[in-house]
Structure 1
Amino acid sequence: MQVRTPAVAGMFYPKTNQELKSSIKNCFLHKYGPGSLPPSSHNEKIIGVICPHAGYEYSGPIAADSYYAISSQNPELVIIIGPNHWGIGRDVAVMKDGVWRTPIGDIEVDTESAIEINKSSKLIEFDSFSHTRDHCLEVQIPMLQETFSHKFKILPLILIDQSYHTAIEVGKSIASISKIKNTIIIGSSDFTHYEPNDFAHKQDKSLIDTIVKLDVDKFYNILQEKQISACGYGAIASTMIACKELGATKGTLIKYATSGDIVGDKSSVVGYASIVFS
């Protein structure tokens, strides 16, 4: 069986089981996090979330807000989609089989769903190499492991091509898979990169306003017009499209903060948002 070994353990998050579990607990209890440990008592059906992917000390609390929001649910499949920062491998890549390993343990890739999503779109190709070095999906896995106590599988998708037309096709394919199994969709992205804190807040608010309205056309227009440096814009758009196809009528911003808000240096920050679709 193929094992996708950790690429950023010891950098983006702690590399030992005990330290990692402690770090995630701290993210949930952080003042920018939900303030409670999962599971929540919320029973609203959430179809998908937007979640950041920086180091846990920076974006972990905002990520925890997304995970707490879905923690009362019982998905058998978690579809995770993010941007390919390294630009290696296929334009749109799904891992077909194997497990993703973290210091907490292994999570199995849903081969059945991988085969189905590959059939549903010629854009989505089988390729494990695309996934080998990137952090955007990897940092989600330990959070999922600590959020859910039941067994589930993952379907990891990573994008070099984040264009409007690709996002529409990928989003519709994700929706078709989600209709077969009890699924949660996680779109992995950070927002504005390396700008002053006030400017990042202003830029990101304008983009988030389009996301919560599920307006993909306006989303791409604002992204281009304001030159917003959200790295996973195609992952966000694909998640919006999939959730809308699955009946979502709104997005809700749970929490927004920047690395500057969290660690104090506000001269050059990265923006993070927790958004849920229901």
Structure 2
Amino acid sequence: MHLRQPAVAGRFYTDVPADLRAEVESFLKQGAALPASALAAGDADRLAGLMLPHAGHVYSGRVIGATLAHVRLPRTVFLLCPNHTGLGTPLSVWPAGAWQTPLGPVPVDGEMARLLCEADEDFSADVMGHVREHSIEVLLPFLQVCAGDAPLHVVPVCVGTGQAPVLRTAGQRLARVLERCRVRDGRRPLLLVSSDMNHYEDQQTTLRKDDLALEAALRGDADALLVTVAREGISMCGAAPLALAFYALRAWAPGAAVRATLVMHETSAAVSHDTEHVVGYAGLRIFSC
């Protein structure tokens, strides 16, 4: 059994279980009180994905809590994250076992992970892309608290390529696996993208660059997103995973409208009060209808 141990517990978030649960519950409660976090019944049925930031909880927890508030998680969540370490393969799929957090293990959906690796040569069973990567790990305690006693399984995918043709083809293959998962579970699985926005520029520059990337993201336009971040020099680390999600959703339901709504957007300056070197955090809900 592949058991992925926490890499950043005690640094990006507390490693004390009771404190971690209380912290996550507090962020979710704060988020649920925000009008922007409300989720209409019709939108709940059309929810296909989320984008959440992955900084330390003290910085990103408000955005994560607001975006996850009122969301009912399905049995299986496909987690798409960027590759910050350079380790592993272009599309690294954690194949089986579980991911350990201070709140307990989160089982991997081994069946869907296997199907994904069989579906496309670009997806490969590979743990090296994940062992030191933090961008899925920091989100798991939020998913565990949101799921409560309901079953929760994940398919972790670390995206180490930003090439549009590769991502487009991979999205088509991912769409087939998403459909297999829907048929098996009787409910649509969720795509969860882990991404921060622009990094380490001043507040004004970061907000301007974030807005440019978000404009493409809100349209669900993968091609425009990749072009925009490259042309404008936007250091959005999860642009490729988000593009992969958009490609997959469009291939999964050809002709359906793919759109996103912005739940919350802020920068690290809200906590650090440093406006010269900030990181942007945005929470998106992605709908397919």
- Within 5 Å, give how 1:1-278 maps onto structure 2: 1-30=1-30, 33-35=31-33, 42-43=40-41, 44=43, 45=45, 46-69=47-70, 71=71, 73-149=72-148, 150-181=150-181, 182-246=188-252, 247-278=256-287
Q: Distance in 2 between matches of 1:199 and 1:184?
A: 32
Q: Distance in 2 between matches of 1:243 and 1:97?
A: 24
**CA deviation profile, 1:183-224 (whole Å, cap 9, x unmatched):** 011011101000111111111001100011111221122111
Structure 2 alignment gaps of length 5 or more? 182-187
Go from structure 1 to structure 2 and tell me whether the alpha carbon gap of 1:29 and 1:266 turns closer, same or farther (over 3 Å shift): farther
Q: Distance in 2 between matches of 1:53 and 1:248?
A: 27
On the 8 A contact 1:47/1:248 being kept in 2, the answer is no
Secondary structure class of the residue paired with 1:245: helix
Percent of aligned pairs sharing the same letter: 27
Aligned length: 272
**CA deviation profile, 1:93-128 (whole Å, cap 9, x unmatched):** 101111100000111111110111111110001111
Corresponding letter in the other structure for 1:192: N
Shift of 1:168: 1.3
On the 8 A contact 1:13/1:139 being kept in 2, the answer is yes
Secondary structure class of the residue paired with 1:131: coil
TM-score (normalised: structure 1): 0.92
Secondary structure class of the residue paired with 2:22: helix
Shift of 1:41: 6.8
Shift of 1:74: 4.3
Q: Distance in 1 between matches of 2:39 and 2:195?
A: 27
**CA deviation profile, 1:212-271 (whole Å, cap 9, x unmatched):** 111122112211111100111111111122233344531111111111124322111000
Q: Distance in 2 between matches of 1:5 and 1:42?
A: 37
Secondary structure class of the residue paired with 1:47: strand
Structure 1 alignment gaps of length 5 or more? none
Corresponding letter in the other structure for 1:87: G
Q: Distance in 2 between matches of 1:195 and 1:123?
A: 34
Shift of 1:75: 0.8
- Give 2:184's aligned residue: none
Q: Distance in 1 between matches of 2:141 and 2:128?
A: 21
On the 8 A contact 2:93/2:113 being kept in 1, the answer is yes
TM-score (normalised: structure 2): 0.89
Corresponding letter in the other structure for 2:128: F
Moved more, 214-223 or 110-119: 214-223
- Give 2:185's aligned residue: none
Secondary structure class of the residue paired with 1:256: strand
Shift of 1:76: 1.4
Shift of 1:173: 2.5
Corresponding letter in the other structure for 2:33: G
Go from structure 1 to structure 2 and tell me whether the alpha carbon gap of 1:59 and 1:216 turns closer, same or farther (over 3 Å shift): same
Corresponding letter in the other structure for 1:47: A
On the 8 A contact 1:27/1:56 being kept in 2, the answer is no
Go from structure 1 to structure 2 and tell me whether the alpha carbon gap of 1:5 and 1:159 turns closer, same or farther (over 3 Å shift): same
Q: Distance in 1 between matches of 2:22 and 2:79?
A: 24
Q: Distance in 2 between matches of 1:163 and 1:230?
A: 15
CA RMSD of aligned residues (A): 1.7
